[in-house]
Amino acid sequence: MTASEALPTQEQDCDVLVIGGGPAGATVAPLLAQKGWRVVVLDKDRHPRFHIGESLLPANLPLFERLGVAEQIRTIGMHKPGAEFVSPHHEHTQTFFFADAWDKSMPSAYQVKRAEFDEVLLNNAARQGAEVHQGCKATQVDFQGDGSVCVTARSDDGSEQRWRARFLIDASGRDTFLANRFRIKQRNPVHNSSALYAHFRHARRHEGSNEGNISILWFEHGWFWFIPMTGGVTSVGMVTWPYHMKSRKGRSLEQFLQDNIATCPGLARRLEQAERITQVEATGNFSYSATRNHGANYLLLGDAFAFIDPVFSSGVWLAMQGGVIGAETVDICLRQPERAAQALRRFDRVMRHGPRQFSWFIYRMTNPIMRDFFMYPKNVLRVKEALLSVLAGDLYGSTPIWRSLWVFKGLYYAANIFQPRRAYMAWKKRQHNIRKVDDAGLYQA
Task: Give every CB contact of residue 117 below 8 A, 6+ residues apart in sequence.
Answer: 23, 54, 73, 76, 77
pLDDT at 272 over 90: yes
pLDDT digits (tens, 9 = 90+) for 78-87: 999 999 999 9
pLDDT at 176 over 90: yes
Vertex 415: Cα angle to 411 and 421 (nearest 5): 160
Distance in angstroms (rounded) separating the CA atoms of residues 195 and 239: 4
CATH architecture, domain 3-77+112-188+288-358: 3-Layer(bba) Sandwich (3.50)
Averaged pLDDT for residues 218-225: 96
pLDDT digits (tens, 9 = 90+) for 125-157: 999 999 999 999 999 999 999 999 999 999 999
**194-283 carries CATH number 3.90.550.10:** no
What is the percentage of the chain residues whose pLDDT exceeds 90? 89
User: Do residues 61 and 152 touch, judged by C-beta distance below 8 A?
Assistant: no
pLDDT of residue 2: 41
pLDDT digits (tens, 9 = 90+) for 2-16: 444 444 567 899 999
- Beta strands at 39-43 and 82-86: parallel, antiparallel or unpaired: unpaired
Vertex 292: Cα angle to 366 and 20 (nearest 5): 85
pLDDT digits (tens, 9 = 90+) for 69-121: 999 999 999 999 999 999 999 999 999 999 999 999 999 999 999 999 999 99
Number of helical (H) and strand (E) elements in the chain, helices listed first: 15, 21
pLDDT of residue 6: 45
Count of C-beta atoms within a 10 Å radius of residue 24: 33
pLDDT of residue 444: 78
> What are the residue ranges spanned by the domains of the chain?
3-77+112-188+288-358, 194-283, 363-433
Averaged pLDDT for residues 50-64: 96
What is the value of pTM for the model shown? Answer: 0.94
Q: Does the fold of domain 194-283 match that of domain 3-77+112-188+288-358? A: no
Using DSSP's 3-state secondary structure scheme, residue 153 falls into strand
**Amino acid letter for position 280:** V
Alpha helix locations (H) across 154-286? 177-182, 242-245, 253-261, 265-270
pLDDT at 1 over 60: no
What is the percentage of the chain residues whose pLDDT exceeds 70? 98
pLDDT digits (tens, 9 = 90+) for 362-417: 999 999 999 999 999 999 999 999 999 999 999 999 999 999 999 999 999 999 99
Task: Give every CB contact of residue 142 below 8 A, 6+ residues apart in sequence.
Answer: 149, 150, 151, 152
